[in-house]
Amino acid sequence: MALTWTLDHMPNQTGRTVVVTGATSGLGRITATRLAEAGATVLMAVRDTAKGERVRAEMRGDVEVHRLDLADPRSIRTFAESLGHRRIDALINNAGTPARERALTPEGYERVIATNHLGPFALTGLLLNRFRPDRLPRVVTVGSNFYRQVRSGTDDENLAATGTFQPLRQYVRSKVSNLLFAQELDRRLRAAGSPVRSFAAHPGMAWTGMQDNPGNIAERVFVAALGALVARSAEAGALPILFAATDPRARSDAFHGPSQRKWDERVHFAPIVAPGNDPDRAARQWAIAEAATGVHYLSRVRL
């Protein structure tokens, strides 16, 4: 299934408050910009607030800059607490980092999996009770179609990424976790009777700066060759994310994204396939993330 959808189709966002992580560049910047232009109050959750203020000065609408480092559990909690009693309508888990070399957070977790998976998991849990029930409340997790490149299971408990470290594989591993999380979150929300929905979206191969990843020679050649064939602009790549964040037709059982054909600008509803569609593995990863972050929410007892 595919829908023709452009910015002109985006519903008016006046009255909605949306948190966008990683909003100073690439997809996050475009997403935040377009939401603000459509009337939303946008909370830019960014690691570099000075850069965030420079970006905000170029945007139109109601936009605020807040500090958030998804690799730092204290920063995540401080951000959530700083909102006080404010209510939100959507959270777009967009921020992510590519893998270049193995680096650990102070907690001992590999930085890519901490930033791309553990951080969004904790942030979502800490903000979940702030969602208003009546304005399309939703969490959008930004993934990657690269997730299908992982053909076998990974050691999900190996959060320090010990052993042979392959940058591209580690990044893709985090994207598998994103998809598993998005689906498990929606299952638990429904079981809890919550009005909040969880959606997954991806930009396809969009040039955002994420491709500036040294990696090894084989990985650089792979990314460059794929980009020459299918890469589109970051503006086009942001459309599926904006659709998932704003359109009532978004589906929790689909991966919203562009076609692999550059000239096809519709939003496609792709089925989520292995290894991103394993509910048992998703439940295990949820438990691992709870233990790693100390953030517990939406118990699975009622499932």
Angle of CA points 112, 53, 21, to nearest 5°: 30
Q: Is the dihedral of CA 37, 135, 242, 81 positive or negative?
A: positive
For residue 231, which of 256, 202, 209, 260 has the smallest C-alpha distance?
260
Q: d(Cα 109, Cα 149) in Å, to the nearest integer?
A: 23
The verdict on whether 171 is a catalytic residue reads yes
In this structure, what token pair is assigned to residue 103? 């680096």
DSSP states along the chain: -EE---GGGSPP-TT-EEEEESTTSHHHHHHHHHHHHTT-EEEEEES-HHHHHHHHHT--SSEEEEE--TT-HHHHHHHHHHTTT--BSEEEE------SS--B-TTS-BHHHIIIIIHHHHHHHHHGGGB-SSS--EEEEE--GGGGG--S---TT-TT--SS--HHHHHHHHHHHHHHHHHHHHHHHHHTT-S-EEEEE---SB-SSTT-----HHHHHHHHHHHHHH-B-HHHHHHHHHHHHH-TT--TTEEEE--SSTT--SEEEEEP-TTTT-HHHHHHHHHHHHHHH----S-GGG-
Q: Which of 109, 147, 171, 297 is catalytic?
A: 171
For the annotated catalytic residues, the residue numbers are 171
